[in-house]
Amino acid sequence: MDHSIDCSYAHKAANVQKRGGRVMLIASDSNILEEEYNVDDPTEMVSIPTIIIEKDFGDIIREYTKFKKDTNDYIVLSIKFTGVKEGGFVEIELFMRSDDLKARNFFTEFSYYKEKLGEKLKFVPIYKYSKIVNEQYDNDISFSNSKSNIPCIKESRMCATPNRPMQIENPRTILLENIRESCIFQEFGQEIYWKYMLQFNELCFDIKNPLFNDECALSVLKKISFSENDFQTLNKSMIQLVNYESKVDNDYNTFNKRKIYSIPDLFINGVPYRGTWYSKYIFRSICNGFLDDAKICEGINPREVIYNQRVGNGVLIFIIVMIILVTSCSLMFYKRYINKNLEDALSERIEEQTMKSISQYQMFQDNKKHGSQLELVSE
């Protein structure tokens, strides 16, 4: 497929996917490729592999295709992803900040697939810190100092910034939550870390009223059964993380090394993920490109997403139609019921008035007759 400016790469891939294609190979209109080409339209939901090649290479394939077409020969193109599935495990690196809504939703939505992957999954969170010149720094991260609003720690000025859309005005709470989550992961491992993240999402990260503070974090730790020793271990780890060369510095350097400019970002086995951030698409990408395990990836079908979308849309349309039909029938029967009651009531009223009129007329005639007789007697 040739590229032209009238249609995005992602939109082309979506069209290939809708027609049942298993992979898209596209020849660029340039010999210089940019990594962002594959995500030029994030609104498209694409789950098939997409490959972009330089213009010169595309010209060679194009000429060969033309030659084969002229000789009425078939063309078989074999595409193989070599060396990707050799590790036997999947490492997901999530570049994030503790207050990022999309990143936090990832933990809730991907938890099912995390269980499915089991021991095959190695998860690494990497937190974002900023350096702000001329800002004060405060290395006291104790609970008694939790009301501080100084946004930086370390002389190297590892800082955070406010999150006004989430109504988190004090950047220090974000900074400390980054550090706390890093230490939980570092000291207690992947499973405890995930439990904490899921409970924090449920108890502290309500979009309408986020309780993004130390008090809520402590209540989450208690809920996941942190002992007194666990609290001491966590506190010691946080102090060391602030005062020494540690994960804070490593995370900051990793962001720069990988050239991560926006968050959240996801890497799978060191390869940047450029697909849709729905968990089933991430899992599908893992099975298609990084994990060769039939038991875990059982039922993965490249066309399943499209089928599910169509089935889902079909079910939704069916439900809407049924609701309209039931509502229409109900209104029709109700209308008939009301009309019948009105007719019966009207007929009864007319009959009653008629009988009353006849009775009054008869009484009038009787009175008239008796009145004449009385006149004759009086004469």
Judgement on whether residues 108 and 140 belong to the same structural domain of the protein: yes
The contacts found for 227-234 with CB under 8 angstroms, 24 or more apart, are 230/188, 233/187, 234/180, 234/183, 234/184, 234/187, 234/188
Residues 43 and 140 in one domain: no
Q: Provide the 10 A C-beta neighbour count for residue 27.
A: 19
| CA 42 to the chain's CA centroid | 13
Q: What is the DSSP string of 1-19?
A: -B--TTS-HHHHHHHHHHT
| Domain final position from 300, 335, 369 | 300
373 assigned to some structural domain: no
Our CA angle for 235, 238, 243, nearest 5°, is 125
Instruction: From 30, 35, 23, 77, select the one nearest 54 (Cα to Cα).
Output: 30
What pTM was computed for the model?
Answer: 0.62
Is residue 338 in some structural domain? no
Q: Is residue 287 part of a domain?
A: yes
Task: Tell me: do 132 and 274 sit in the same domain.
Answer: yes
| pLDDT tens, the chain, 379 aa long | 665 667 777 788 888 888 888 788 888 878 877 655 555 565 667 777 788 888 888 888 888 887 777 777 777 777 765 555 555 789 999 999 999 999 999 999 999 999 999 999 999 999 999 888 777 888 888 776 777 888 888 877 788 988 888 888 888 999 999 999 999 999 999 999 999 999 999 999 877 777 888 889 999 999 999 999 999 999 999 988 887 778 888 999 999 888 888 899 999 988 888 778 889 989 988 888 788 788 888 766 544 443 344 445 555 666 776 777 767 666 666 566 666 665 565 566 555 655 555 555 556 555 555 554 434 444 3
Whether residues 95 and 16 share a domain: the answer is no
The DSSP letter of residue 24 is E
Inter-residue contact 84 to 60 (CB < 8 Å): no
Which domain does 145 fall in, by range? 90-300
Residue 62 and residue 142 in one domain: no
CA angle 261–267–268, rounded 5-degree value: 170
In terms of domains, do 55 and 196 share one? Answer: no
Strands (E), 188-305: 265-268, 271-272
Residue 275: which CATH number? 3.40.30.10
198 CB burial (10 A radius; 0-12, 13-18, 19+):
middle
Residue 53 lies in a domain: yes
Asked, for residue 289, whether it belongs to a domain, the answer is yes
- Domain for residue 368, yes or no? no
In-domain check, residue 280: yes
Out of 281, 300, 319, pick the residue that ends a domain. 300
**Do 142 and 278 sit in the same domain of this protein?**
yes
> What DSSP designation does 273 have?
P
pLDDT of res. 189 = 93
Same domain, 132 and 65: no
| Claim to verify: residue 148 and residue 210 sit in the same structural domain | yes
In a domain, 21, yes or no: yes
- Domains of the chain: total: 2
Alpha-carbon distances, residue 226 vs 123, 140, 195, 222, 269 (angstroms): 22, 23, 11, 5, 32
8-state DSSP, 120: G
Judgement on whether residues 32 and 127 belong to the same structural domain of the protein: no
End-to-end CA distance of the chain: 124
Q: In the prediction, which pLDDT does 58 show?
A: 85
92: helix, coil or strand?
strand
* Residue 81, pLDDT score: 59
The residue from 283, 300, 317 where one domain ends is 300
What per-residue confidence (pLDDT) applies to 309?
A: 43
The pLDDT score that the predictor gives to residue 306 is 39
Residues 99 and 57 grouped into a single domain: no
Q: Other C-beta atoms within 10 Å of 127: how many?
A: 28
Residue 88 phi, psi (nearest 5): 80, 0
Could you tell me how many residues make up the chain?
379
Q: Are residues 46 and 185 in the same domain?
A: no
Q: Which two tokens stand for residue 377?
A: 């007697």
